[in-house]
């Protein structure tokens, strides 16, 4: 029994570590979509954040500066999406893909000189009071600051969205821009802020991956995590609290893949590697009825985006 719980907890915390970057993007993109804008470019923003974070951490020797720089990089790139969508009225899906390719190219290009650099990491909770907690200490010890920050963001976002007036206007922008206008506010301001916040979170997520989790940079290292996160936003019904189990689902399937291999399970690692993509897809399929019944939870403004392909 004890072996079983140890294994389960190991898996859970491995899933959490693996899920953190994805969770951060889900939270950011959920906020963006709550204002009625979808941004597929989060994948590119994540890559650019990862590269910038790593490069700055390498050059300055300070990983926290790297994380900060990554956030700014994410915001900067997201502004391209904002200019295209809000400024020029371009199609959101197309613009997102453009941002994705741009971020991917820029990070590969400017990241090349930094490959192989060694950086200091953010440290973890080992050797603090946390790791001395009986039983759980060994699992809580390896937790790093980015995990904590991301977890804290969940209640913060929830309070903002559902308990503040600004949050209310934010959400109403996603439901109907007219309502917001009638209330005397410019919906574009909220959408701009939403896109920027998404940029911040995806840049942060990239730093969590490169500066924190792997302390390394390789081009394309996000491997589609940003795009999966966009799907997970729907799985999470645009609710920050549901984002955690949604992201954990992804992280668990990744961790499971490796765990199964190390247990000697006889399934091809490639088939196992499809799990992180199939599981969110299955959840999307299964939640059909629930979505229909409750109206989906999708901000109405978003529905229009998905229906047009100009």
Residue 270 contacts other proteins per CB under 8 A: yes
Report in angstroms how near the CB of residue 243 gets to other proteins at its nearest.
16
Residue 76 contacts other proteins per CB under 8 A: no
Q: Which residues of 14-41 are buried (b: 16+ CB within 10 A; e: fewer)?
A: bbbbbbbbbbbbbbbbbbbbbbbbbbbb
Question: How many residues belong to the site for other proteins (CB under 8 A)?
Answer: 78
Residue 149 contacts other proteins per CB under 8 A: no
Which of 49, 203, 231, 299 is the binder for other proteins (CB under 8 A)? Answer: 231
User: 213 and 54 in contact (C-beta within 8 Å)?
Assistant: no
Residues 14-43 as x/- pattern, contact with other proteins by CB under 8 A: x--xx---------------------x---
Which of 12, 79, 179, 219 is the binder for other proteins (CB under 8 A)? Answer: 219
Of the candidates 162, 277, 290, the residue with the CA atom closest to the CA atom of residue 230: 277
Dist. CA 229–CA 279, nearest whole Å? 12
Where helices occur in the chain by DSSP H, the ranges are: 2-34, 42-60, 63-82, 92-111, 137-140, 145-163, 165-175, 177-182, 187-207, 225-235, 240-262, 269-273, 275-286, 288-293, 300-307
* CB closer to other proteins, 114 vs 167: 114
* CB closer to other proteins, 161 vs 209: 209
Look at the block and give the residue holding tokens 């759980």: 136
Report in angstroms how near the CB of residue 79 gets to other proteins at its nearest.
12
Report in angstroms how near the CB of residue 164 gets to other proteins at its nearest.
29
Residues 83-142 that bind other proteins (CB under 8 A): 83-84, 87-91, 93-95, 97-102, 104-106, 108-109, 112-113, 115-116, 118, 121, 124, 142
Residue 285 contacts other proteins per CB under 8 A: yes
* CB closer to other proteins, 74 vs 167: 74
Of the candidates 156, 194, 296, the residue with the CA atom closest to the CA atom of residue 237: 296
Phi, psi (deg, nearest 5) at residue 46 = -65, -45
Report in angstroms how near the CB of residue 230 gets to other proteins at its nearest.
7
Which of 127, 164, 288, 304 is the binder for other proteins (CB under 8 A)? Answer: 288
Of the candidates 82, 77, 88, the residue with the CA atom closest to the CA atom of residue 42: 77
Structure tokens at 116: 């192989």
Residue 224 contacts other proteins per CB under 8 A: yes
Residue 304 contacts other proteins per CB under 8 A: no
Residue 309 contacts other proteins per CB under 8 A: yes
């Amino acid at each position: 029994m004890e072996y079983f719980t140890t294994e389960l907890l190991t898996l859970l915390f491995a899933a959490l570590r693996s899920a953190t970057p994805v969770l951060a993007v889900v939270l950011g993109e959920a906020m963006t979509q709550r204002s009625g804008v979808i941004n597929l470019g989060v994948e590119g923003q994540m890559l650019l954040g990862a590269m910038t974070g790593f490069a700055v951490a390498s050059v300055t020797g300070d990983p926290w500066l790297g994380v900060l720089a990554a956030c700014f990089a994410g915001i900067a790139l997201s502004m391209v999406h904002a200019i295209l969508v809000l400024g020029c009225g371009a199609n959101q899906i197309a613009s997102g893909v453009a941002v994705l390719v741009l971020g991917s190219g820029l990070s590969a290009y400017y990241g090349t000189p930094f490959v192989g650099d060694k950086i200091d990491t953010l440290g973890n909770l080992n050797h603090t009071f946390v790791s001395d907690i009986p039983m759980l200490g060994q699992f809580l010890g390896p937790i790093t600051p980015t995990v904590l920050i991301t977890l804290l963001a969940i209640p913060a976002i929830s309070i903002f969205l559902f308990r503040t007036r600004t949050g209310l206007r934010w959400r109403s922008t996603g439901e109907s821009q007219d309502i917001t206008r009638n209330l005397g506010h410019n919906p574009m301001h909220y959408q701009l802020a939403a896109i920027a916040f998404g940029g911040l979170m995806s840049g942060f997520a990239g730093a969590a991956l490169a500066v924190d989790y792997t302390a390394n940079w390789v081009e394309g290292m996000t491997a589609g995590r940003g795009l999966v996160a966009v799907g997970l936003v729907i799985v999470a019904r645009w609710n920050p609290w549901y984002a955690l189990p949604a992201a954990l689902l992804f992280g668990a399937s990744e961790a499971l893949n490796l765990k199964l291999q190390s247990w000697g399970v006889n399934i091809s690692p490639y088939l196992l590697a499809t799990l992180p993509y199939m599981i969110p897809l299955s959840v999307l399929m299964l939640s059909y009825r629930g979505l229909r019944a409750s109206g989906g939870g999708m901000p109405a403004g978003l529905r229009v985006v998905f229906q047009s392909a100009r």
